[in-house]
Structure 1
Amino acid sequence: MLTLADIDVDRVAALLARYGLALSRVPDGEPIPGSYWGECEAGLIGCTVFARGDTPVHSMLHEASHLIVLPPERRADVHTDATDSIAEEDAVCVLQSLLGAELPDVGADRVLADMDAWGYTFRLGSARAYVNDDADDAWAWLERAGLVDAARTLRLPD
């Protein structure tokens, strides 16, 4: 599984900053603040994503995606659990792969493979099959939120 220690953290921080988010590196061995799953999984508090070197990249992107889909005025209230609905969770699963594609040392393929390895479950058997063939509602959700265009391309903020 690809971890934060394996990639250029400055690129991740820059990507998150485009959405008004901060990445806070947690020292190795320390508990991750705001982690829903515990262990090495990323955490959320307000507009900050917390991660250690051993945090899986897909986890960090997933938690960041939860903040990205929220209106900025709601982000400050987030602590540990940001999910508002199943529809939002589905959209976040798609968005995390799109964010991975924006990181040259990650890519969507790696995010999707690591989602499968971690244990995400989808009706069609894989994260890739979900995103490509079973996520029309999630894509529509992301389009309504202004995060992707009709061609299913990520709209990056300036």
Structure 2
Amino acid sequence: MVHYENLNSDSIKELLSHYGIQINCSAPGVAIPHSFWGTPEAGRKKNRLYIRADTPIHSILHESCHYICMPEEQRSLPHVDAKGSAMEENATCYLQILLADHIDGYSSSQLMKDMDAWGYSFRLGSSYAWFTQDAEEVLQWLINQQIINSQSIPTWKLRDTYFESRPLNETILKPHR
């Protein structure tokens, strides 16, 4: 398992800065604020990511990708749980795999090993099998949300709105005032 202290922190900060995410690093032995899973896992509140030196990189990327993939109105809420759909959770996992290759000294291959070691659960077993054989719908969702392009390259954009759960033929009416 690779931790924040094992890699170049500038590389991680630079990656996350593309999305307006700021890292707050707690001292050793101090509980990490806003962590859904508890210390040493990353915590997030709005665009602030809370970590320690012993926070796993997969956790840093996962919480960051939740922020990237959630709808705009969700990002400003103060809760710890991302409260996303199954598609958002899968998109978070897929995007963190893509972003791992943008961290000096780390890779998507290492991230998937760390995900499996931590206990991420996928229908086909390993994160690699899921990523390469069972994530076409997730890939298309990320492209449709303009989070990545058709070559699976990050656009460095946050998801804008929450259209994914509405049928295409559904019209949303707002009352006139």
Common fold: TM-score over 0.5: yes
Report how far residue 155 of structure 1 moved. 2.2
Cα distance in 2 for residues equivalent to 1:66 and 1:54:
20
Partner of 1:147: 147
Residue 46 of structure 1, CA deviation: 1.1
Structure 1 residue ranges without an equivalent (≥5)? none
Aligned-residue Cα RMSD (Å) equals 1.3
> d(CA) in 2 for partners of 1:78 and 1:131?
31
Report if the CA contact (8 A) 1:2-1:56 is conserved: yes
Once the two structures are superposed, residues 98-151 of structure 1 have per-residue CA deviations (whole angstroms, 9 ceiling, x without a partner) of 111111211111111100000011111110111111011111111111111122
1:84 aligns with 2:81: no
* Equivalent position SS for 1:104: coil
Q: Name the residue aligned to 1:31.
A: 31
Q: Is the 8 A contact 1:112 1:128 kept in 2?
A: yes
Q: Secondary structure of 2:50's partner?
A: strand
State the AA in 1 paired with 2:49. V
Question: Is the 1:44–1:80 contact (alpha carbons within 8 Å) kept by the matching residues of 2?
Answer: yes
1:136 equivalent in alignment to 2:143: no
**Residue in 2 aligned with 1:20?**
20
The whole-number CA distance in structure 2 between the counterparts of 1:111 and 1:71 is: 25
In structure 2, give the amino acid aligned to 1:106.
Answer: Y
| Cα 1:78/1:101, change in 2 over 3 Å | farther
Query: Sequence identity, in percent?
Result: 37
Give the gaps of 5 or more residues in structure 2: 158-177
Q: After the TM superposition, list the runs of 4 or more consecutive aligned residues in structure 1 that deviate by more than 4 angstroms.
A: none
**SS in structure 1 of the partner of residue 79 of structure 2:** coil
Question: Which residue in the other structure is 2:111 paired with?
Answer: 111
Alignment: residue pair count: 157
Cα distance, 1:11 vs structure 2? 1.3
Q: How many angstroms does 1:72 deviate by? A: 4.3
When normalised by structure 2's length, the TM-score is 0.84
User: Is the partner of 2:24 in helix, strand or coil?
Assistant: strand
The separation in 1 between residues aligned to 2:150 and 2:51, in whole angstroms, is 32
Map of 2:50 onto structure 1: 50
Question: CA–CA distance in 2 between the matches of 1:78 and 1:114?
Answer: 28
More helix by share: 1
For 1:5, the equivalent position in structure 2 comes to 5
Amino acid corresponding to residue 122 of structure 2 in structure 1: F
Whether the aligned pair in 2 keeps the contact of 1:32 and 1:39 (CA below 8 Å) is yes
